Structure 1
Amino acid sequence: MDVTEMLESASLLVPEEVATENDISVRDVWDYLAHDEWQIALSLLEELGNRQPLPLTFWERLAEAAEQLGLERSAAWCHWRCSEIRNGMIRADLTLRPVAEARRKTPISGHGVLRPMWDIGNPSPTGGASVSIAGLWVEDMPVLEPGGRATVRLVPLTPAHWTHIEAGQRINMHEDRTVAGTAVVLEIHLPTTAMLTRGH
């Protein structure tokens, strides 16, 4: 598949009634595709995909197209959205500890590179605290500085560990034994398979 075919294939998965805040719909995407404006079409499809849940195939096609166009940031975001569909996503308000109180002295990448550990209240077999790994994407910011605060998206490595999480819950982020930051859960969207394991 070439870029045009991938973007056309993705656009067919978007309901015609879905529109961006600027009232741009999939019809506008088709106009851009007809004029080989692939990058604009890709950007608009990403925006439409952020308006309502779309199938995994949609994001896979966009990721492939972004890679062929050499758009690393778009490709990373589309692959991230694929991970969210497979493993679920938790949105949270994260505040990192300041430099004076934490081991980290440098900003964290906002684009899904970091996979820190989270204390989400699960006990370990020995009775102590257990941690669960989740990837981290910072919304609307390329990096998050120590002491900074931002809305983040977490993709659990093991969704079944997160089924007890509730909005308003505070969870701690760890990169080692010390607390690197604290987050307040805003939304939980776990896949059906994880929901089936709730309480087990």
Structure 2
Amino acid sequence: MGAVEAIRLLEDAGLLTPEEAAGPGDLTERDVWDQLARDEWEQVLGVLEECRGGPPLPPAFWASLAEAVGQLRMERGTAWCHWRHTEARRGGIRAVLTLFPPEEADGGRRLPVPGAGVLRPMWDIGSRAPDGGPAWNIASLWAEHTAAIPPGGRATVRLAPLTPGQWRHLTPGDVITMHERRPPAGTATVLEVLPPVLP
């Protein structure tokens, strides 16, 4: 039932074209099912969204899709849909994160950064504490199209701020600093500031 519901949701959102109505350039279930069956929802949905164009999909779509994918017992796909649901409700940040190598900086990680939204590092985004020093902000991190970022590695990431309103001043090109403790662990260059999606 989950597979049928997931495909129906994708078709209803204009991400897939029903087989019987498909033209030569349309993406159909047949085109993407192999990847979906391997739990590559993040990659497939990214391509489908690009092809679709138009406004971002609303939170209700992502919540329904998370439920359908969850019925298929696809953990990463379900987590991705939940992530996008939260992002659609609260907004987020896309950025390119570069981790410092462990040998070059005291803050460099010796272990990979898990990519599926489990890490919630602190970020220096320019906020100031009452004493004038930096005030760090917390945001969960999802690495796009990879299970983990190796030490010293680089990846496009999505950030889900704990307090989104404090991040709204950021613009593409801004550089923010990731901390897991006092020394910095890496820097990220903002690509997009994603506003909440109206239902």
Structures share a fold, TM > 0.5? yes
| 1:61 maps to 2:60 | no
Aligned to 1:11: 11
Structure 2 Cα separation of the partners of residues 166 and 112 of structure 1: 22
| 1:107 maps to 2:112 | yes
Q: CA deviation at 1:45?
A: 7.0
Q: CA deviation at 1:58?
A: 1.6
Structure 2 Cα separation of the partners of residues 78 and 50 of structure 1: 16
Point out where structure 1 has 5 or more consecutive residues left out of the alignment: 33-37, 194-200
Q: CA deviation at 1:136?
A: 0.8
Superimposed CA distance per residue, residues 53-112 of structure 1 (whole angstroms, 9 cap, x where no aligned partner)? 212122112211111111111111111111111121211111111112225310011111
Aligned to 1:198: none
Aligned to 1:197: none
Q: What CA RMSD, in Å, does the superposition of the two structures yield over aligned residues?
A: 3.1
Pick aligned residue for 1:75 from 72, 75, 78: 78
Pick aligned residue for 2:98 from 91, 95, 117: 95
* Contact persistence 1:7–1:62 (CA under 8 A): no
Pick aligned residue for 2:185 from 176, 180, 187: 180
Worse-superposed segment, 98-107 or 119-128: 98-107
Structure 1's consecutive aligned runs of 4 or more residues displaced over 2 angstroms after TM superposition are: 1-7, 13-17, 22-25, 42-52, 190-193
Structure 2 Cα separation of the partners of residues 143 and 83 of structure 1: 21
Code of the residue aligned with 1:122 in structure 2: it is S
1:2–1:191 CA distance, 2 compared to 1 (3 A): closer
Structure 2 Cα separation of the partners of residues 2 and 150 of structure 1: 31
Code of the residue aligned with 1:12 in structure 2: it is D
Point out where structure 2 has 5 or more consecutive residues left out of the alignment: 18-23
1:54–1:137 CA distance, 2 compared to 1 (3 A): same
| 1:149 maps to 2:151 | no
Code of the residue aligned with 1:158 in structure 2: it is T
1:186–1:45 CA distance, 2 compared to 1 (3 A): closer
Q: CA deviation at 1:146?
A: 1.1
Q: CA deviation at 1:2?
A: 5.3
SS in 1 for 2:80: helix
* TM-score (normalised: structure 1): 0.78
